[in-house]
Amino acid sequence: MATFVLVHGGGHGGWCYKPVAQRLRAMGHEVHAPSLTGLADRRHLMSDAIDLETHITDIAELLEFEDLTAVILVGHSYGGMVITGAADRRPARVGHRVYLDAAYPRDGESLYEHAYEAIHGARQGLHEADGVELVMAPMPGMAAFFGVTDPQLGAWTDARLTAQPWACFTQKLALTNEAAMRAIPESHLVCTSTLAGRDLALLQARSQGRVWDVDTGHDLMLTEPDWVAERLDAIARL
C-alpha cells in the first residue's frame, strides 16, 4: 500500500482531509494530513514570518523526519504551490505529485500571479492582526465560497477555517531542482468548472493523460470524498 501526504489549501488545515483520509486508511494506505504553520490547529504559531517558503519547509521536513519515501504528495488549491516546492526540495522522497483542483505554478511565479482573478478578490479582505497581514478572515457562510453547500457540512467547515498570511500568496515560488521535480510522475484531479482556465494540453502531456474532473465545488475532498479517495487509490496502484 502507498503513503500519502495530503496538503491543504488556503485558510484550511489538515482537518479538511478527514473524510478522504478515513477512506484511504480503510483501504490500507498510510496517510499524513498536516496543518501548515499558522493555520488550523497550528494557528497559535501565527507570525509575520510565515510565507510560502515556510509551508514548503513544513512539508519537506515532514518527509525527512518521518523518513517517508515514494510518497504520493497531494496538494489542494494553494497546496499546489506547496507540493511543487516540497517535491523540488526533496525529489528523492516523492513518488507522485497529485494536484487537487490546485495551483500548478511555474518557477518564479506567486499564487497571486498564477490565480490573479481569485486571489485579487480575496485581497479585498486584507486586514492586519497582531502585526500580520491576513486574508480570508473566517465568517459564517464562508464555506459556500469553497463550494460547500450542504448546511451541516458547511457549518462544520466554517467552524474550522482560519485566516492566512497574505505573504503566502505574494511570495514567488523559487525552484532549485526543477528537472528532478518535473521527472516525478504527476496527476490532476480537478473540478469541471475550472477546466476552462487550465492549460489542458500541458497537463495532459505532463501527466500522460492522467487528468480527471468531477462536477462539484472547489473543496472536492469534502464534497466528493468517495470520488477523490477512489482516484487516489487508483493512482497508488499505477
The 10s digit of each residue's pLDDT in 188-222 is 999 999 999 999 999 999 999 999 999 999 999 99
With a CB cutoff of 8 Å and minimum separation 6, the contacts of 207 are 185, 186, 187, 188
pLDDT band at 120 (very low <50, low <70, confident <90, very high): confident
> Which whole-number Å values give the CA distances from 7 to 29, 60, 97, 101, 178, in the listed order?
16, 11, 11, 12, 20
Average pLDDT, integer, range 79-93? 98
Residues 71 and 1: their CA atoms lie apart, in Å, by 11
Rounded-to-integer distance, Cα 202 and Cα 199, Å: 5
Residue % of the chain over a pLDDT of 90: 95
Name 97's bridge partners.
Answer: 73, 186
* Domain CATH number, residue 140: 3.40.50.1820
DSSP 38-75: TSGGGGGG--TT--HHHHHHHHHHHHHHTT--SEEEEE
In whole angstroms, give the CA distance from residue 47 to residue 55. 13
Q: Tell me the torsion sign for CA atoms 171, 110, 46, 181.
A: negative
Closest alpha carbon to 162 in 5, 6, 9: 9
Percent of the chain with pLDDT over 70: 100
Of the pLDDT bands very low, low, confident and very high (cuts 50, 70, 90), residue 38 is: very high
* Structural domain boundaries, residue 201: 3-236
* Average pLDDT of the chain to the nearest whole number: 97
Give catalytic status of residue 47 as yes or no: no
pLDDT class of 118 with cuts at 50, 70, 90: confident
Checking if the pLDDT of 124 tops 90, the result is: no
Task: Give the tens place of pLDDT for each residue, 141-173.
Answer: 999 999 999 999 999 999 999 999 999 999 999
Number of domains observed in the structure of the chain = 1
Q: Is the dihedral of CA 22, 149, 161, 131 positive or negative?
A: positive
Average pLDDT (109-116) is: 95
Q: What is the mean pLDDT of residues 86-105?
A: 98
The pLDDT of residue 122 is: 82
pLDDT-derived band at 178, boundaries 50, 70, 90: very high
Tell me the mean pLDDT in the region 67-95. 98
Residue 33, pLDDT score: 98
Among the options 35, 47, 77, 187, which is catalytic?
Answer: 77
pLDDT exceeds 90 at position 125: no
C-alpha triplet 45, 50, 51: angle, nearest 5°? 150
